[in-house]
Amino acid sequence: MNPATAGSGTAAAAPHARPATIMVAVACGFVMAMLDVTIVNVALKAMQNSLAMSLTTLVWVVDAYTLSFAALLLFGGALANRYGSKTIYLTGLGVFVAASALCAAAATPATLIASRLLQGVGAALFMPSSLSLLTQAFPPGPLRTRMIGIWGALVSAAMALGPCVGGVLVDAIGWRSIFWVNLPVGIAGLWLTQRHVARSPRHAGPLNGTGHLLAALALAALSLTLIQGPSLGWTSPAIVGCALATIAATAAFALRERFARHRILSPELLGNQRFVAGSLLGLAINFGILAEIFLISLYLQQQRGSSPLAAGFQLFPLMAMFGIGNLASARVSARLGARGTLLAGLALATLGTAALIGIDALPYWALAIAIGIANFGAGQAIPAMNLVVMHAARPEDANLAAASLNASRQVGSLVGVAIASVILHTFTDPGRATAAGFAIIAAAYAGGLVVVARSIEPG
Length of the chain in residues, anyone? 459
Q: What is the pLDDT along the chain (459 residues), one digit of tens a residue?
A: 333 333 334 444 444 557 777 777 888 887 887 777 778 878 888 898 889 888 888 888 888 888 888 888 778 877 887 888 888 999 999 999 999 999 999 999 999 999 999 999 998 888 878 777 877 777 767 777 777 777 766 776 777 777 788 888 888 888 999 999 889 888 988 888 888 776 766 666 667 778 888 988 998 899 889 888 888 888 999 999 999 999 999 999 888 888 777 777 777 777 778 888 888 998 999 999 989 988 888 888 888 888 888 888 888 888 788 878 888 887 888 888 888 899 999 999 999 999 988 887 788 888 889 999 999 999 899 888 888 887 777 766 766 777 678 778 888 888 888 898 888 888 878 778 888 999 999 999 999 999 998 887 776
- Residue 396 has a pLDDT of 66
Residue 20's contacts (CB-CB under 8 Å, 6 or more residues apart) are none
**CATH fold for domain 15-200+264-455:** Growth Hormone; Chain: A; (1.20.1250)
Radius of gyration of the chain (CA): 21
Query: Domain boundaries in the chain?
Result: 15-200+264-455, 209-263
CA distance 107 to 86: 34
CA distance 25 to 195: 9
- Residue 374 has a pLDDT of 94
Amino acid occupying residue 28: C
The conformation of residue 90, written as its DSSP 8-state character, comes to H
- Residue 3 has a pLDDT of 35
How far is residue 24 from each of residues 73, 126, 149, 256, 290, measured CA to CA in Å?
22, 14, 12, 39, 24
pTM (predicted TM-score): 0.77
CA distance 287 to 173: 31
In contact, 131 and 390? CB cutoff 8 Å: yes
CA distance 417 to 291: 5
